Amino acid sequence: MHIQIGYHIELKVNAPTMLLGALNVHPSRQHDLLAPEVLRTEPALPIEQYRDPFDNVITRINVPAGTPSIRISNSAVVRDSGELDTVNLQARQLELNELPAETLQFLLPSRYCEVDSELLGFAWNQFGSSPPGWERVRAICTYVHQHIRFDYQQARANRSALEGWRERVGVCRDFSHLAITFCRAMNIPARYTTGYMGDIGIPSTGTMDFSAWFQVYLGDRWYTFDARHNRTRIGRIVMAMGRDAADVPITMVFGQNTLSRFAVTSDELPEVQI
């Protein structure tokens, strides 16, 4: 399967500033690109890229004085297996002393995942009797899927897991933050993931956006889970991973700005177009 990905983002600014963003496919998927991504800015500005501590490709763009707006676009074609997310019902939850050191940071509280809150006690009361491992994570996803109502109009960039739990409304990042928090509370390493996920293999849901899901460490590897949809999906293309959304903003502008255009593409291509 081949998937056309890309975006067009326009931001209005009123002063010299800097933009940081996770604007590229994650290195773990770059070998699937049929050609390098084409990242452009209008006006044309120097683009600097570096790897952050989570191995994400982060783009830095300095916006000079006299630039009223900046437009960022990207496009690429990605080769994908076309298979649904991996399911492993026998995936084992490791004891704390068995966990690899690099996974331990994904047990800790973070900006939007307040493990050290009332959610800790609630998690043990709600999920403590569920079988550890895959079934426990699935129980967490089902609870979050049923507890939060998806509503784009109620999106809020600074909503935390605790607030999402109390307000019972949110968007994909809110589902992920709450599920991550419950997993960490149950001593399961969990990390936030963002990227492309088009309506492939399901009826179209309308306007395309970037998506957020999460990964948990069971057995000897990371597995993908999605509390918002609570089902396996086809065609996830990871862009960035971190402790929560604070680590992986698609764009972060240092100063006042207004988003004036936002369009995302993630469409399966007929083979004849390649």
- 33-52: per-residue pLDDT in tens? 998 899 999 999 999 999 99
What tokens does 139 get?
């129980």
CA–CA separation, 24 vs 196, rounded Å? 11
**pTM across the whole model:** 0.94
| Residue extent(s) of CATH 2.60.40.2250 domains in the chain | 2-82+250-273
Q: What is the mean pLDDT of residues 105-127?
A: 97
User: Per-residue confidence at 274, pLDDT binned at 50, 70, 90?
Assistant: very low
What is the per-residue pLDDT for 209?
Answer: 87
pLDDT tens-digit series, residues 124-182: 999 999 999 999 999 999 999 999 999 989 999 899 999 999 999 999 999 999 999 99
Q: What percent of the chain clears pLDDT 90, i.e. is strictly above it?
A: 90
Reply yes or no: is the peptide bond before residue 43 cis, omega within 30 of 0: yes
Q: What is the mean pLDDT of residues 110-124?
A: 97
pLDDT tens-digit series, residues 201-248: 888 777 788 999 999 999 999 999 999 999 999 999 999 999 999 999
| Residue extent(s) of CATH 3.10.620.30 domains in the chain | 96-243
Predicted confidence (pLDDT) at residue 273 exceeds the cutoff of 70: no
Of 15, 21, 17, nearest to 63 by C-alpha is: 17
Strands 149-150 and 169-170: parallel
143, 168 in Cβ contact below 8 A?
no
What SS3 class is residue 223? strand
What tokens does 131 get?
């079988």
What is the per-residue pLDDT for 271?
Answer: 72
User: Per-residue confidence at 14, pLDDT binned at 50, 70, 90?
Assistant: confident
What is the per-residue pLDDT for 203?
Answer: 84
Please provide the distance, in angstroms rounded to a whole number, between the alpha carbons at the two ends of the chain: 10
What is the per-residue pLDDT for 256?
Answer: 87
Topology (CATH) of 2-82+250-273: Immunoglobulin-like (2.60.40)
What tokens does 175 get?
């589902």
CA–CA separation, 165 vs 58, rounded Å? 31
Instruction: Please identify, in words, the CATH class of the domain defined by 96-243.
Output: alpha beta
What tokens does 6 get?
């890309």
User: Per-residue confidence at 90, pLDDT binned at 50, 70, 90?
Assistant: very high
What tokens does 42 get?
């209008």
* Amino acid (one-letter) located at 116: D
**Buried-state track 146-177, b at ≥16 Cβ within 10 A, e below 16:** eebeeeeeeeeeebbbbbbbeeebbbbbbbbb
Of 194, 213, 185, 27, nearest to 113 by C-alpha is: 185
Predicted confidence (pLDDT) at residue 272 exceeds the cutoff of 60: no
CA–CA separation, 179 vs 228, rounded Å? 9
Helix (H) or strand (E) holding 192, with range, is: strand 190-197
